[in-house]
Every structure is written in structure tokens, then in C-alpha cells.
Amino acid sequence: MVERLLGSMTLGLSAKRLAALFILLFVVACTSREVVVEGAFPTPLIDPVPVSVGILFTQEFREHELIDDATGRGEVSWRVSTGSAQVDFWSTLFPAFFQNVVFINSYEDLETYDVDAVLIPEVSEVQYAIPLYTSVKVYEIWMRYQLSLVEPEQIMDADNKTINLENMQAFAEWPLTAYGKTPTAFMQSDVDAVNLAAVMALRDAGANFITSFARVPGVMDWIENPEVAQ
């Protein structure tokens, strides 16, 4: 009787340990990854466009995140914060691309600085692809922007002394796409691979911006006569 009892207790402990192991494996399989994108963004060597531009990064742009809750799919969930890297990257590119750049942070900035137009970048879409069932850490990220050029008066709410984008009418607006991929499968971690893919996507966005800007409808007319934006 005692031997049976001891055997039953041993079996119970083993079952509990096995159950705990399964739970642990499930939690690990359905865990999440968080990435705050960081990277180096060299200043491009180009002839600047001879205009004065205000750059407005909205709060949504500064705090942009890609969130993929994959719990229901039994996969890894991702939170990829690109906002800080977005600001770092475009704050490096725009001053090199335009002759004069002012970063607009308030209504008072619009009153104080004389700019020909205000450029407002927005992230409209981000998608990513990950290797689900292999150890090859090659990740891909697609980004889509919407950029707008507006006259400063279009976003100035004089009554409330604030910046208001709700009813602005841009004289030039266009989409911009970007693609990034980890250049090697031998990354140290999934987080490193996603970070690098995002950095590559940002660099691609910059290259596309530089090569396509002059072809945007309305832009060349504005460059030739920045005081009369149509």
C-alpha cells in the first residue's frame, strides 16, 4: 500500500513537471519581441535645392510603431518602434537636401521663421516578413510614406495660436515607398535582424526621395518660383 502511494506521488510530481515544461515551451513560443530601431545615417553629398523649407514631424510620426500581435496565430508578436530612427534619419537627410531647413515644433516657429513651404512626412503603412520555420534570420520590411508640401498659412490656426493639419491643402503631395532586407542570414538575434532591415528600409526611402523629388507634380514650378506655390 505504501509503495503504491509513493509511486502515485512520484507519478503526480512527474506529470506536474511535464505540464510545467509544456507551459514554459508554450510561453516561449508565443513570446513577444520589442525593437527600438537604431542605426547610423550618413549625410548624403548632394547639391541642395535652393529653397527654404520647414520640416514638421507630427507626434504620430515621432512615436510611430509597428505592432503585430501574433498570439492568436501561435507565433512571436512584434513591437517595432521606428519613430526615433525616423526623426534621426530625416533630420540628417533634409538639411543636406534643401538649402535651408527649419524644424517646426510650434505655432511660434511658423511665425518666427520665413520658409517657402512646410514639408510634412507621414508613415502610412509598414509591412514585414519573417522566417517562421527556419533558423535563417533574413527579415524584410516594406514602408510607405505620404509626403505633403504646404504653404505655412495652410496649417496656422491664428485664432488658437496652434498648428492645425485637418483642413490643409497641399500644393504637392506624393507617396514614397521603401524596402529593407537583412543583407546576411548570420545575425546574432531576431531583434538585430529586424533592426537592420528597418535601417535598410530608411536608407532606401532616402535614396528614393532624392531621385524622385523633382518629378513630383508641382515641385519644379515651386522651386523655380517658391514665393508663389500653386
Q: Indicate whether 3 pLDDT > 60.
A: no
Q: Indicate whether 135 pLDDT > 70.
A: no
pLDDT of the residue at 74: 67
Q: Is the pTM for the entire model greater than 0.85?
A: no
Q: Quick one: CA torsion of 66, 71, 76, 80, rounded to 10 degrees?
A: 10
Choose among 91, 78, 75: nearest CA to 34: 78
Gap between the Cα atoms of 85 and 183, Å rounded: 19
Q: Indicate whether 17 pLDDT > 90.
A: no
Asked if residue 96 lies in contact with residue 55, where contact means CB atoms within 8 angstroms, the answer is: no
Q: Indicate whether 129 pLDDT > 90.
A: no
- What's the full length of the chain, in residues? 230
Q: Indicate whether 198 pLDDT > 60.
A: yes
pLDDT of the residue at 226: 79
Q: Which CATH class is domain 32-224?
A: alpha beta
pLDDT of the residue at 138: 80
Grid coordinates in use for 19? 505540464
Asked if residue 116 lies in contact with residue 229, where contact means CB atoms within 8 angstroms, the answer is: yes
Sign of CA dihedral 38, 192, 122, 89: positive
Averaged pLDDT for residues 42-53: 95
Q: Indicate whether 148 pLDDT > 70.
A: yes
Averaged pLDDT for residues 131-160: 87
Which CA distances in Å does 50 have to 97, 197, 222?
9, 33, 11
Mean of per-residue pLDDT scores for the chain: 84
The angle, 0 to 180 degrees and rounded to 10, between the axes of the packed helices 83-97 and 190-212 is 30
Which CA distances in Å does 118 have to 100, 110, 169, 224?
12, 9, 12, 16
Choose among 212, 77, 230, 80: nearest CA to 142: 80
Sign of CA dihedral 101, 107, 113, 116: positive
Q: Indicate whether 182 pLDDT > 80.
A: yes
Q: Indicate whether 142 pLDDT > 60.
A: yes
Gap between the Cα atoms of 170 and 148, Å rounded: 6
Confidence bin at 71 (pLDDT 50/70/90): confident
| Beta-bridge mates of residue 119 | 55, 149
